[in-house]
Amino acid sequence: GAVVSQHPSRVICKSGTSVKIECRSLDFQATTMFWYRQFPKQSLMLMATSNEGSKATYEQGVEKDKFLINHASLTLSTLTVTSAHPEDSSFYICSAPQGIGSYEQYFGPGTRLTVT
Amino acid sequence: KNEVEQSPQNLTAQEGEFITINCSYSVGISALHWLQQHPGGGIVSLFMLSSGKKKHGRLIATINIQEKHSSLHITASHPRDSAVYICAVPPFGNEKLTFGTGTRLTIIP
């Protein structure tokens, strides 16, 4: 089946630094990818929709200048958490629909970010 | 009010028991997802269904579009089934998923 990978799986960084998380579709092309954040014992919350070749669409309350998204190719989207703070510590997950308009979605394994 | 409601929130059962997790939603949808999230965090898509019933091994998912309700069943439950089970729906015409709050299942040996 379709596979989505994320890198890194776990990252610890100091407050004030920036962290880049990659999301790759390994055996299919994804014009759209979704980025989610999950705090402990809470459900996933959609942060933004990443669109290949155009600007990302951010959900209400998500700062686009803090969470930079770049969908550089049909198989790669990156999320950069800029000037990270401890409250940004969370589990970040991406997903990708298998085709345009497809409701079948494949999830990455997630990236656990800890900001000290 | 959450558009997707799951019950129960927590469920503890003995190994071998038949498990049912319910999901109700309020929006019109094209399909419904059942996802499994293990303690490490990674999410696995178990089912996507738009009508009727699907079966995969010991897992069965059903959906009633008219009643806006879906159930996930696990037969002969095993400790390795312990995880959080999440139902998620894409509203009509939208690829974005709205997630339920999840059901934390613990199977005791």
**pLDDT tens-place string over residues A25-66:** 998 888 899 999 998 888 889 999 999 988 999 999 999 999
Mutate to test the interface with A, among B27, B35, B89, B95 (most CBs of A within 10 A): B95
Give me the residue from B31, B44, B101 closest to A43, CB to CB. Answer: B101
- Residue to mutate among B35, B97, B101, with most A CBs inside 10 A, is B97
Q: Which residues contact B39 (CB under 8 A, 6 or more apart)?
A: B83
Residue B93's pLDDT band, with cuts at 50, 70 and 90, is low
The pLDDT of residue B11 is above 70:
yes
Phi, psi torsion values for A100, nearest 5 degrees: -60, 125
List the single residue in B44, B90, B99 with the smallest CB-CB distance to A43: B99
Q: Does the pLDDT value for residue B68 go beyond 80? A: yes
Contact A44 B42 (CB under 8 A): no
Give the per-residue pLDDT at B92: 66
Query: What does the alpha-carbon distance between residue B104 and residue B38 come to, in Å, rounded to a whole number?
Result: 10
